[in-house]
Each structure stands twice: as C-alpha cells, then as structure tokens.
Copies of this chain bind each other. A is one copy, B any other.
Amino acid sequence: MTTALRTQYVAAMTTAPESRPADLVITGCTTLTHDDPHGAGGIGFVEDSAIVVREGVIESITTPEAVAGLPAVERVDARGQLAMPGLINCHTHTPMVAFRGIAEDVPIEEWFNDWIWPIEVNLTDRDVELGALLACAEMIRGGVTTFADHYFSMDAIAAATEASGLRANLGWGFFSSEGAAGRERSLDFALRLRDAADGRITTSLAPHAPYTVNDDDLAATAELAREHGLLVHIHAAENGDQTAASVAAHGHTPIEALRRAGLLDVDLLVAHGTGLTDDDFVVLGRGTGHIAFATAPKGYLKFGWDMTPMRALASIGVPVGLATDGAASNNTLDVWESMTLTGLTQKSAERDPGWLTARQALDHATTQSARAVGLGDRIGALAPGRRADLILVDLTGPHTQPIHDHAATLVFSARSADVLTTIVDGRILMRDRKLLTLDVPRIVEEMTTRLPALTDRGHGRRVQDYDPA
C-alpha cells in the first residue's frame, strides 16, 4: 500500500469516535483494501491494521494504536491473519450438496437426464432445507459470506439462510414447462422475501435457461424485472454445444435470445457463458442493464468445456463473479478454490501467463462478484460504510510462508481451510474454525437417513429433459 493510501485510512479515525462501545474491533491483521471500493483501481494490503465495526457496518480501517483504548463488545486479536471481504458465491444450487459425488465422469446430457433431474423429482422441502443448511455450513467454513442461489423450494433455502447468518440473493427457478405458474411463483417469492432476514436476503427472478424457458416467458420476465426493480438470474450459453444447438434450431445464439427478450436491458446475472461468440460480445456491449456473468471453472474442467471468456468480457466492461455452481458438478462450494482455478485456467485458456494476475483474480472475487449479485454498493470491499462482511485468513501456515506478495499468497498458496473467522453484518459466524450458528453432525445425520429415498431413480421420471436447443 502507498503511504498516501495508508494516511487516507488512518485519517478516517482522526474524527472523534463515538462514545458507545464498538460492536467489534479487530486488531493486528493485514487488510486487503481497494483504491476505489466501487471496483475501479487496484488492490492494496495495509499491514498491522485495525477494523472497527458498529451496527453491522465497517466504521473505520485504522491502526491498532488508534483503537487501543476504544471500548468494544468484542475484540479479535488477528495478528498473523489477513482481513479481506468475505467471498461471494455468485451462482449455486445449495441443496445439491446432497448429490456431491453421485454423478461423476459423465457428460452433461447423461448428468442431467440420467442422474440429476430424475433425483430432483424426489426432493421435499425438508431435503432442500437440510441441503441448504449443510451448504451454508460448508460456505461459512470456506469464507463465503454471500451466495446467489437458483433453485426450488426457495422458502426452505431462505429459512436456512436466516438460520445460518449468511447473506444471499435467492431466486426461485422456473421452466416454461410449468406454464405461467412457474413464473408467478418466482415473482411471488422475489417480492415476498426481498429484504428478509434483516436485509440479508435479496431476491431475483430465476428463469432456468433460454433452452427451457421460451421467448414469451423470457420477455415477460424482463417486463417484471423492470416493473419491480429485480435482478434476473439465468443460465445461458453454458457451453459451446448449447450455443451451436441454439443457432441450429433458432438461427441465433442464447445471448441473442436474451437480447430479443429485453433481458440485456435489465440487471442480469448470467451463469457460465463459456459458449459466447464474437457477436455475443457486441450484443452484450450494447445492453443497457447491469449485466454480469458468474464463472465456475471446476465444473467446466470436469465436463471438458471451454472457460468463461473473462478477458473478452473485461474488454467490454462486463464484470465476472466467482461461483461454484452446485456440488453435484463442482463437488464443493469452495469459492476460494474457484478463485485459484480462475487464476490458473484463465492463464491456461489464454495461453498467457500474464492473464489474469493474482490481483485480478482478487478483484473478481471481491468487487466484481459484489456487482454481479447486485450488491456492489454494500459488500465486496472493506471500507467505511460497507456492510461488515469479512473473513480472517491465517497466513502463518508453512504452505503460505514466506510472503513475497500477498496477492500471490492468497490466490495461489492459501486455501479455504486457512479461513479462521467468518463475519457477516458484523456477526461472527465462525471463529477460529468453530461454526457458531450451525450443527453439522445433526444436519448430516438427518440427511443421511433421507438419502435412500432422495436418490432413488426407480420411478423413471425426471424434472425435465436436457435438450439444449
């Protein structure tokens, strides 16, 4: 960090602090900061810093000396640790943790038609809630503080979110095969649950994909999004085969289908986009909404797909957030792993060791992910006025020493298991790796008894057929 920037942060404390005790004071950590918390500019690291939290908000980032006498309800000695914005899982299906490892080594058609969609027929609200609870536990342990979920039985997921203490953007998925009822349910949920859980829950409309939601329903979704000021969260151009199938069947790409429906002129979160074409970048660049993509590279590697073209998307100013997708394809909800894999696979896909750098990977993990889930002004950076969603990362392990460059250490040496403490809205959800809101053995025990019924495929039915045209 430059001296000027350090001075700027220290200056935040020269105004007299409030006399009430702070809710939380963290001291001695190195803090990851952004030159501009809205995402322009670079990332810096302030050594031997302190963070003051009051009423769920970061009040200041300063020095340990400046807060030595400050009364506080809770203090965390974070020497040897690094404070950074909590990770954001920009696209997942939390209950699918129940299917982790059940459908391996198969192509996407078989994965959907022979495994996932036959099993999902069996899901009950309780299965969904248990899956979401286990997923929240995994994410808190991995330093995730916000997730964007696109699934069914979303009230159960909202209940799990509330219980866990996490922040989430939730969207009830729908297919046109459900008729108007699917879209209406998605809207009802989005309006009912927005700003629930003390504002930690935001919502979106969640059409499944252009190959399962028809043009009329996509257009109606865009209208509803505009009318109600809602984000739309959708899968599109998931891989090159889908794009080719769309062009063959309709004469245009999935992204062009979104444009025709008006979805590029509302706030839009697109999962995957590994099958984008050169024309798609032109179309995306003309969209007037806040458009973002979510990338989940582990699954793309497993399925043998291309990677999300992050360099081309960066060139047209489209943010790309990090994601895990569901654990049935990704096996974990480890966004740290997604960050590392993003750094690795982007260099590999571009055949360029210079794209993308560790600092760029951190930018995607923080401000770009926050923008992708529609929370760019609330989270994604540690700065005064932002929600206090942050994690403390142990940097004393032998695999992270010595430190020549904090960005490289975080992206290419550290891992999710190094997250010691996870904080959302100033509330500590995990401290020194001990979960404080969820009871994993109890969740796993109940899930285990339900698994035989849940994973039965003998009924011969499925939620939907996979046919990407």
Task: Mark the stretch among A6-14, A104-112, A283-291 that contacts chain B.
Answer: A104-112
Main secondary structure of the interface of A (DSSP, over half): helix
Whether A444 contacts B101 by the Cβ 8 Å rule is no
**CB interface residues, A 434-448, toward B, < 8 Å:** 440-441, 443-444, 447-448
**CB interface residues, A 403-447, toward B, < 8 Å:** 403-405, 408-409, 412-413, 415-418, 440-441, 443-444, 447
Whether B331 contacts A412 by the Cβ 8 Å rule is yes
Q: Which 10 A-B pairs have the closest CB atoms?
A: A417-B417, A101-B408, A331-B412, A301-B344, A138-B398, A304-B351, A137-B398, A102-B404, A301-B348, A331-B413
Best-surrounded residue of A98, A101, A351 (most CB of chain B within 10 A)? A101
Q: A332-B399, A401-B134, A440-B398 are in contact. Are A354 and B141 (CB under 8 A)?
A: no
Whether A101 contacts B409 by the Cβ 8 Å rule is yes
A303 partner, pick from B353, B416, B447, beta carbons under 8 A: B353
- In whole angstroms, what is the CA distance A15 to B333 when docked? 47
Whether A352 contacts B408 by the Cβ 8 Å rule is no
A141 partner, pick from B357, B397, B409, beta carbons under 8 A: B397
Total copies of this chain within the assembly: 2
Is A323 at the interface (CB under 8 A from chain B)?
no
A211 to chain B, nearest CB (A): 20
Is A77 at the interface (CB under 8 A from chain B)?
no
**CB interface residues, A 446-467, toward B, < 8 Å:** 447-448, 451, 455
Enumerate chain B residues within 8 angstroms of A351, measured Cβ to Cβ: 304
Whether B354 contacts A105 by the Cβ 8 Å rule is yes
A405 partner, pick from B101, B334, B353, beta carbons under 8 A: B101
Enumerate chain B residues within 8 angstroms of A105, measured Cβ to Cβ: 347, 353-354, 357-358
A143 to chain B, nearest CB (A): 12
Enumerate chain B residues within 8 angstroms of A303, measured Cβ to Cβ: 347, 353
A402 partner, pick from B100, B106, B399, B405, beta carbons under 8 A: B100
A304 partner, pick from B300, B333, B350, beta carbons under 8 A: B350
Enumerate chain B residues within 8 angstroms of A142, measured Cβ to Cβ: 399
Enumerate chain B residues within 8 angstroms of A344, measured Cβ to Cβ: 298, 301-302, 341
- In whole angstroms, what is the CA distance A105 to B441 when docked? 42
Q: Can you list 22 A-B pairs, Cβ within 8 angstroms, ordered by A?
A: A97-B398, A100-B402, A100-B408, A104-B357, A106-B353, A106-B354, A107-B353, A138-B399, A141-B398, A302-B344, A302-B348, A302-B353, A304-B347, A327-B413, A331-B412, A332-B413, A401-B440, A401-B444, A402-B444, A402-B447, A415-B415, A415-B416
